[in-house]
Protein backbone atom coordinates (compact mmCIF):
# COMPACT_ATOMS: atom_id res chain seq x y z
CA UNK A 1 0.00 0.00 0.00
CA UNK A 2 1.17 3.54 -0.74
CA UNK A 3 -0.31 7.01 -0.52
CA UNK A 4 -0.52 9.21 -3.61
CA UNK A 5 -1.40 12.85 -4.17
CA UNK A 6 -2.57 15.81 -2.10
CA UNK A 7 -4.90 15.07 -0.41
CA UNK A 8 -3.50 11.56 0.04
CA UNK A 9 -5.27 8.56 -1.45
CA UNK A 10 -4.38 4.98 -0.56
CA UNK A 11 -3.35 2.85 -3.57
CA UNK A 12 -2.80 -0.91 -3.47
CA UNK A 13 -0.12 -2.03 -5.93
CA UNK A 14 1.99 -5.01 -6.88
CA UNK A 15 5.79 -4.86 -6.67
CA UNK A 16 7.56 -5.24 -10.02
CA UNK A 17 11.34 -5.71 -10.14
CA UNK A 18 11.47 -5.97 -13.94
CA UNK A 19 10.37 -2.44 -14.78
CA UNK A 20 11.93 0.83 -13.63
CA UNK A 21 8.75 2.92 -13.68
CA UNK A 22 5.57 3.00 -11.62
CA UNK A 23 2.12 2.74 -13.18
CA UNK A 24 -1.37 3.03 -11.72
CA UNK A 25 -4.65 1.94 -13.29
CA UNK A 26 -7.85 3.95 -12.95
CA UNK A 27 -9.86 0.77 -12.49
CA UNK A 28 -13.22 2.43 -11.86
CA UNK A 29 -13.36 3.82 -15.40
CA UNK A 30 -14.94 0.60 -16.64
CA UNK A 31 -17.00 2.06 -19.48
CA UNK A 32 -14.75 4.93 -20.57
CA UNK A 33 -14.46 5.71 -24.26
CA UNK A 34 -11.49 7.56 -25.72
CA UNK A 35 -13.34 10.86 -25.53
CA UNK A 36 -14.31 10.41 -21.88
CA UNK A 37 -11.14 8.72 -20.67
CA UNK A 38 -8.95 11.74 -20.03
CA UNK A 39 -11.28 13.66 -17.68
CA UNK A 40 -11.64 10.50 -15.61
CA UNK A 41 -7.88 10.02 -15.43
CA UNK A 42 -7.48 13.43 -13.85
CA UNK A 43 -10.43 13.01 -11.50
CA UNK A 44 -9.09 9.69 -10.28
CA UNK A 45 -6.59 11.67 -8.23
CA UNK A 46 -7.85 15.27 -7.95
CA UNK A 47 -4.45 16.11 -6.50
CA UNK A 48 -3.13 19.66 -6.34
CA UNK A 49 0.36 18.29 -7.07
CA UNK A 50 -0.70 16.24 -10.11
CA UNK A 51 1.17 17.49 -13.20
CA UNK A 52 0.45 16.08 -16.68
CA UNK A 53 3.58 15.84 -18.86
CA UNK A 54 2.50 13.70 -21.81
CA UNK A 55 -0.28 11.38 -22.97
CA UNK A 56 -0.24 7.59 -22.82
CA UNK A 57 -1.40 6.28 -26.21
CA UNK A 58 -2.53 3.01 -27.77
CA UNK A 59 -0.40 3.68 -30.89
CA UNK A 60 2.76 5.76 -31.46
CA UNK A 61 1.97 9.49 -31.53
CA UNK A 62 -1.75 8.80 -32.11
CA UNK A 63 -3.70 11.22 -29.89
CA UNK A 64 -7.01 9.77 -31.12
CA UNK A 65 -6.61 6.83 -28.71
CA UNK A 66 -5.50 8.22 -25.35
CA UNK A 67 -5.19 5.74 -22.47
CA UNK A 68 -3.96 8.10 -19.78
CA UNK A 69 -1.16 10.41 -18.65
CA UNK A 70 2.54 10.38 -18.07
CA UNK A 71 2.45 12.58 -14.98
CA UNK A 72 4.11 13.37 -11.67
CA UNK A 73 2.66 13.48 -8.18
CA UNK A 74 3.60 13.12 -4.54
CA UNK A 75 4.08 9.58 -3.24
CA UNK A 76 4.43 8.34 0.33
CA UNK A 77 5.79 4.83 0.83
CA UNK A 78 6.27 3.94 4.47
CA UNK A 79 8.01 6.95 5.99
CA UNK A 80 9.49 8.14 2.69
CA UNK A 81 8.04 11.08 0.80
CA UNK A 82 8.91 11.73 -2.85
CA UNK A 83 7.66 13.47 -5.97
CA UNK A 84 7.82 10.88 -8.72
CA UNK A 85 6.93 10.40 -12.39
CA UNK A 86 4.49 7.59 -13.19
CA UNK A 87 1.99 6.38 -15.77
CA UNK A 88 -1.67 6.92 -14.88
CA UNK A 89 -3.69 4.60 -17.12
CA UNK A 90 -7.43 4.22 -17.72
CA UNK A 91 -8.72 0.66 -18.07
CA UNK A 92 -11.17 -0.15 -20.86
CA UNK A 93 -13.65 -2.67 -19.54
CA UNK A 94 -12.29 -5.53 -17.44
CA UNK A 95 -8.97 -5.95 -19.21
CA UNK A 96 -5.93 -3.73 -18.85
CA UNK A 97 -3.94 -3.60 -22.08
CA UNK A 98 -0.52 -5.24 -22.02
CA UNK A 99 1.30 -2.36 -23.70
CA UNK A 100 1.01 1.38 -24.32
CA UNK A 101 3.03 4.12 -25.99
CA UNK A 102 4.54 7.28 -24.54
CA UNK A 103 5.49 9.17 -27.69
CA UNK A 104 7.13 6.50 -29.86
CA UNK A 105 8.36 4.37 -26.95
CA UNK A 106 6.46 1.15 -26.23
CA UNK A 107 5.79 0.35 -22.57
CA UNK A 108 5.01 -3.21 -21.44
CA UNK A 109 2.76 -3.77 -18.43
CA UNK A 110 2.12 -7.48 -18.79
CA UNK A 111 0.39 -9.72 -16.25
CA UNK A 112 0.14 -13.48 -16.48
CA UNK A 113 -2.74 -13.82 -14.06
CA UNK A 114 -4.58 -10.71 -15.28
CA UNK A 115 -6.25 -8.15 -13.05
CA UNK A 116 -9.43 -9.27 -11.32
CA UNK A 117 -11.86 -6.39 -10.98
CA UNK A 118 -14.81 -8.24 -9.48
CA UNK A 119 -17.79 -6.13 -8.37
CA UNK A 120 -16.01 -3.47 -6.31
CA UNK A 121 -13.04 -2.79 -8.55
CA UNK A 122 -9.55 -4.16 -8.86
CA UNK A 123 -7.50 -6.27 -6.50
CA UNK A 124 -4.58 -3.96 -7.04
CA UNK A 125 -4.21 -0.76 -8.99
CA UNK A 126 -0.91 -1.11 -10.81
CA UNK A 127 2.73 -1.76 -10.05
CA UNK A 128 5.47 -0.05 -8.08
CA UNK A 129 8.48 -0.21 -10.40
CA UNK A 130 11.52 -1.44 -8.47
CA UNK A 131 13.78 -2.39 -11.38
CA UNK A 132 17.29 -1.06 -11.91
CA UNK A 133 17.36 2.34 -13.56
CA UNK A 134 17.81 2.64 -17.30
CA UNK A 135 21.34 2.99 -18.61
CA UNK A 136 20.76 5.37 -21.50
CA UNK A 137 19.38 8.89 -21.61
CA UNK A 138 16.72 9.39 -24.28
CA UNK A 139 15.72 12.88 -25.37
CA UNK A 140 12.84 11.46 -27.43
CA UNK A 141 11.30 9.63 -24.45
CA UNK A 142 11.90 11.68 -21.29
CA UNK A 143 9.81 9.36 -19.13
CA UNK A 144 12.57 6.76 -19.43
CA UNK A 145 15.36 9.04 -18.32
CA UNK A 146 17.81 7.71 -15.77
CA UNK A 147 16.58 9.95 -12.96
CA UNK A 148 13.10 8.40 -13.05
CA UNK A 149 14.16 5.37 -11.01
CA UNK A 150 12.82 4.96 -7.49
CA UNK A 151 16.23 3.83 -6.23
CA UNK A 152 17.43 7.42 -5.90
CA UNK A 153 14.95 7.78 -3.03
CA UNK A 154 16.32 4.75 -1.15
CA UNK A 155 18.77 6.34 1.24
CA UNK A 156 21.19 5.80 2.90
CA UNK A 157 21.54 2.27 1.45
CA UNK A 158 19.97 1.52 -1.92
CA UNK A 159 18.39 -1.72 -0.74
CA UNK A 160 14.88 -3.21 -0.79
CA UNK A 161 13.87 -6.28 1.22
CA UNK A 162 10.78 -8.30 0.24
CA UNK A 163 9.72 -10.91 2.77
CA UNK A 164 6.61 -12.96 1.93
CA UNK A 165 7.42 -15.86 4.24
CA UNK A 166 4.71 -17.12 6.55
CA UNK A 167 3.62 -14.51 9.11
CA UNK A 168 5.87 -11.84 7.53
CA UNK A 169 4.30 -10.26 4.40
CA UNK A 170 6.34 -7.07 4.34
CA UNK A 171 8.56 -4.87 2.21
CA UNK A 172 11.31 -2.63 3.55
CA UNK A 173 12.59 0.36 1.58
CA UNK A 174 16.12 1.60 2.08
CA UNK A 175 17.52 -0.87 4.61
CA UNK A 176 18.30 -4.53 5.13
CA UNK A 177 15.97 -6.26 7.55
CA UNK A 178 17.51 -9.67 8.14
CA UNK A 179 15.86 -10.46 11.46
CA UNK A 180 14.35 -13.90 11.94
CA UNK A 181 16.85 -15.52 9.57
CA UNK A 182 18.32 -18.89 10.53
CA UNK A 183 21.37 -18.84 8.28
CA UNK A 184 23.69 -16.51 6.42
CA UNK A 185 22.45 -14.61 3.40
CA UNK A 186 23.25 -16.20 0.03
CA UNK A 187 24.40 -13.31 -2.17
CA UNK A 188 24.22 -13.79 -5.94
CA UNK A 189 25.77 -11.37 -8.44
CA UNK A 190 23.28 -9.87 -10.91
CA UNK A 191 23.66 -8.71 -14.51
CA UNK A 192 24.43 -5.01 -15.19
CA UNK A 193 21.39 -2.73 -14.89
CA UNK A 194 19.03 -5.57 -13.96
CA UNK A 195 18.32 -8.15 -11.26
CA UNK A 196 18.88 -11.12 -13.59
CA UNK A 197 21.33 -13.78 -12.44
CA UNK A 198 22.77 -16.98 -13.91
CA UNK A 199 21.38 -20.45 -13.17
CA UNK A 200 23.65 -23.51 -13.13
CA UNK A 201 21.31 -26.50 -12.83
CA UNK A 202 17.96 -27.73 -11.58
CA UNK A 203 17.46 -30.95 -9.63
CA UNK A 204 14.01 -32.55 -9.74
CA UNK A 205 13.81 -35.73 -7.69
CA UNK A 206 16.91 -37.76 -8.55
CA UNK A 207 17.54 -36.07 -11.90
CA UNK A 208 19.81 -33.06 -12.45
CA UNK A 209 19.55 -30.89 -15.57
CA UNK A 210 22.17 -28.42 -16.81
CA UNK A 211 20.97 -24.80 -17.15
CA UNK A 212 23.96 -23.20 -18.83
CA UNK A 213 22.87 -20.03 -20.66
CA UNK A 214 19.72 -19.63 -18.55
CA UNK A 215 19.04 -16.58 -16.41
CA UNK A 216 16.42 -15.87 -13.76
CA UNK A 217 14.85 -12.92 -11.98
CA UNK A 218 12.81 -12.83 -8.76
CA UNK A 219 9.67 -10.73 -9.27
CA UNK A 220 7.03 -10.40 -6.50
CA UNK A 221 4.49 -9.29 -9.12
CA UNK A 222 3.74 -12.90 -10.05
CA UNK A 223 2.11 -15.61 -7.99
CA UNK A 224 3.56 -18.42 -10.09
CA UNK A 225 7.11 -19.29 -11.11
CA UNK A 226 7.78 -19.59 -14.86
CA UNK A 227 10.41 -21.99 -16.25
CA UNK A 228 11.14 -23.98 -19.42
CA UNK A 229 8.25 -26.24 -20.41
CA UNK A 230 10.51 -29.32 -20.56
CA UNK A 231 10.96 -29.19 -16.77
CA UNK A 232 7.31 -28.61 -15.90
CA UNK A 233 6.23 -32.20 -16.57
CA UNK A 234 8.82 -33.84 -14.25
CA UNK A 235 7.61 -31.51 -11.50
CA UNK A 236 3.98 -32.45 -12.13
CA UNK A 237 4.88 -36.15 -12.14
CA UNK A 238 5.98 -35.73 -8.53
CA UNK A 239 2.47 -34.61 -7.64
CA UNK A 240 0.59 -37.47 -9.34
CA UNK A 241 -0.98 -40.20 -7.27
CA UNK A 242 -1.93 -37.75 -4.53
CA UNK A 243 -5.67 -38.09 -5.20
CA UNK A 244 -7.41 -35.12 -3.54
CA UNK A 245 -4.44 -34.80 -1.22
CA UNK A 246 -2.13 -31.81 -1.17
CA UNK A 247 -1.15 -31.82 2.48
CA UNK A 248 1.37 -34.59 3.10
CA UNK A 249 4.54 -33.95 1.08
CA UNK A 250 6.96 -36.02 3.15
CA UNK A 251 7.88 -38.25 0.20
CA UNK A 252 8.47 -35.38 -2.24
CA UNK A 253 11.97 -33.86 -2.19
CA UNK A 254 12.46 -30.12 -2.72
CA UNK A 255 13.35 -28.74 -6.14
CA UNK A 256 16.98 -27.60 -5.98
CA UNK A 257 18.30 -24.82 -8.22
CA UNK A 258 22.03 -24.18 -8.42
CA UNK A 259 23.24 -20.56 -8.47
CA UNK A 260 26.52 -18.78 -7.86
CA UNK A 261 27.81 -19.69 -4.41
CA UNK A 262 25.03 -22.08 -3.40
CA UNK A 263 21.53 -23.39 -4.03
CA UNK A 264 17.92 -22.25 -3.82
CA UNK A 265 15.37 -24.84 -2.69
CA UNK A 266 11.62 -24.85 -3.36
CA UNK A 267 9.77 -27.17 -1.00
CA UNK A 268 6.61 -28.91 -2.29
CA UNK A 269 4.35 -26.99 0.09
CA UNK A 270 5.35 -23.73 -1.59
CA UNK A 271 4.31 -24.63 -5.13
CA UNK A 272 1.83 -27.54 -4.96
CA UNK A 273 -1.86 -26.80 -4.51
CA UNK A 274 -5.12 -28.78 -4.75
CA UNK A 275 -6.31 -29.76 -8.22
CA UNK A 276 -9.23 -31.70 -9.63
CA UNK A 277 -7.55 -35.14 -9.63
CA UNK A 278 -4.22 -34.47 -7.96
CA UNK A 279 -1.99 -31.54 -7.09
CA UNK A 280 -1.33 -28.66 -9.42
CA UNK A 281 1.97 -26.84 -9.37
CA UNK A 282 2.60 -23.11 -9.21
CA UNK A 283 5.69 -23.77 -11.35
CA UNK A 284 4.50 -23.46 -14.94
CA UNK A 285 5.81 -22.97 -18.48
CA UNK A 286 7.14 -19.54 -19.36
CA UNK A 287 6.27 -19.89 -23.05
CA UNK A 288 6.10 -16.45 -24.64
CA UNK A 289 4.36 -14.79 -21.72
CA UNK A 290 6.87 -12.05 -20.94
CA UNK A 291 8.41 -9.78 -23.55
CA UNK A 292 12.10 -10.57 -23.95
CA UNK A 293 12.09 -13.36 -21.34
CA UNK A 294 12.36 -16.49 -23.49
CA UNK A 295 15.63 -17.49 -21.80
CA UNK A 296 14.87 -15.87 -18.46
CA UNK A 297 13.00 -17.74 -15.75
CA UNK A 298 10.77 -15.66 -13.51
CA UNK A 299 10.57 -16.68 -9.86
CA UNK A 300 7.38 -15.45 -8.20
CA UNK A 301 5.84 -16.07 -4.80
CA UNK A 302 6.92 -19.73 -4.83
CA UNK A 303 10.46 -18.51 -4.09
CA UNK A 304 9.39 -15.66 -1.84
CA UNK A 305 7.48 -18.07 0.40
CA UNK A 306 10.83 -19.73 1.13
CA UNK A 307 13.24 -16.80 1.31
CA UNK A 308 13.39 -13.17 2.28
CA UNK A 309 14.81 -11.58 -0.87
CA UNK A 310 17.14 -8.59 -0.64
CA UNK A 311 17.66 -6.41 -3.73
CA UNK A 312 20.98 -4.55 -3.44
CA UNK A 313 20.95 -1.86 -6.14
CA UNK A 314 24.29 -0.28 -5.28
CA UNK A 315 26.34 -3.48 -5.28
CA UNK A 316 24.54 -5.28 -8.13
CA UNK A 317 23.46 -8.38 -6.23
CA UNK A 318 20.45 -10.18 -4.80
CA UNK A 319 20.36 -11.96 -1.45
CA UNK A 320 18.34 -14.96 -0.26
CA UNK A 321 17.79 -15.48 3.48
CA UNK A 322 15.88 -18.27 5.21
Give the side-chain half-sphere CA count within 13 A for 104.
3
- pLDDT for 95: 63
State pLDDT tens for residues 64-103.
888 888 888 999 887 888 888 888 887 655 566 778 888 8
Give the burial class of 241: count Cβ atoms within 10 A of its Cβ; 0-12 exposed, 13-18 middle, 19 or more buried: exposed
Domain definitions of the chain by residue range: 2-153, 170-321
With left for phi above 0 and alpha for psi between -120 and 50, is residue 20 left, alpha or beta? alpha
- pLDDT for 254: 92
Nearest Cα neighbor of 106 from 296, 292, 293 is 292
- pLDDT for 67: 81
State pLDDT tens for residues 92-101.
555 667 788 8
- pLDDT for 123: 54
Distance CA 44, CA 1 (A): 17
Is domain 2-153 annotated with CATH 1.10.3470?
A: no
- pLDDT for 58: 85
**Residues in the chain with pLDDT values less than 70:** 27-45, 91-96, 110-124, 134-149, 155-156, 174-183, 239-248, 275-277, 288-294
Distance CA 163, CA 253 (A): 24
Distance CA 15, CA 305 (A): 15
CATH topology for 170-321 is Cathepsin D, subunit A; domain 1 (2.40.70)
Amino acid sequence: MMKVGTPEKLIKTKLDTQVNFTWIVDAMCVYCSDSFGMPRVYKSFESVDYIIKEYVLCRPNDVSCIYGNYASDKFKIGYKNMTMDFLNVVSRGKKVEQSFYVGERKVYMDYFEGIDYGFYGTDYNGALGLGQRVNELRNDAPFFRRENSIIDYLYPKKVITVDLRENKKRMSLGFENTQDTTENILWVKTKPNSFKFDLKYIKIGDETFDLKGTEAVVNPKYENTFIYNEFVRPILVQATGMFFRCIDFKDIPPIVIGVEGGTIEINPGSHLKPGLLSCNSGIVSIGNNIEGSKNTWVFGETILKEYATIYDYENGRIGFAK
